[in-house]
Structure formats: C-alpha cells, structure tokens
Amino acid sequence: MSAADTVRSYKGLAAVERAFRGLKGLDLRVRPIFHRTADHVQAHIFLCLLAYYVQWHLRGAWPELLFEDEALPATRPVRDPVWPAHPSAAARAKKRQRQSPAGDPVHSFETLLAHLVTQTHNTCRLRKQGPKGLADVSMEEITEPTALQARAAELVELFPVDRSPN
C-alpha cells in the first residue's frame, strides 16, 4: 500500500466508529436491552445490523435530499488524505440555500424520516346494519404523497442494490 492509501484506510475507521455511535445513539434509537439467552442476543444484534444496513442504504439513495456532499465519494480517492476534506461548491450552496439543485428542501436524515412518516395508510372499519343483519364494511385510503415523499420514494427505487449471491 502507498502511504496515501494507508492513511485513507486508517481514516475509514471513522466510518466504522460512526456506525457504532449510530447503533448506540439516537440515530437508530436502539436502546440497551438485557437478554437472558444467547439466541435473543444474536437476534438483537442481527436486528441492529439490519437497521443500520437500511439506514446506510437510504443515506446512499438520498444524498441530494440530505445535507451531504454528493461529490465527496468521487473526490475521496484522489485528494490528499492528510489534509482536511473541504466541501464542494455545490455542497456549500446546498447548505446555504437549504435546497437541493432541483429545488427540493434539504433535510437531516432524522427530519427527512419525520416528514416521510406523515404519509399514512388508513383503514376504517364500520359495522353496518343491513337487510341480512350486521355487516362489516371497510374503507382504505392512502394519503397523497407530498412532492418530497414522492421524490424520496423515486430515489430509493433508482438506487441499485447488488442482489447477486456471493
């Protein structure tokens, strides 16, 4: 490995530390749970890692909707690994204007999720007296997505996922 690649690999530990902080902290809201059996411990760890994978996947699909520098992954392998990373001009503009280049509002991951959960699927069940006695009637309604909700769903569908077995 070259010296620059060694420094880049070392700095990659920060991503691992961020992931563990996210598992323990408020990002995934996985609280400490005390289990009595090994199976329960393994299941809990599996669910934590699955939640982290979903979060990682969504962050990868939504960088244009988040306060993230979309140019950073492309510039990381070629910039000097010792000097601090500087945000691109597009990232600085996104943070300053609080809008993506497409004009969508920019969010933190948490505020974006808070907005996305406002779309609901409602089921109303009524008991109605009919000619043959009581009958259950149900109605379903899915609220219309906002422009931001529709864009977030579109980005998730466009994000490639490698489903090939190893």
DSSP 107: B
- pTM, two decimal places: 0.72
Calpha distance 119→82 (Å, rounded): 44
pLDDT for position 66: 92
- Extract the tokens encoding 149: 């909700």
pLDDT, tens digit (0-9, with 9 covering 90-100), for 68-79: 888 887 887 888
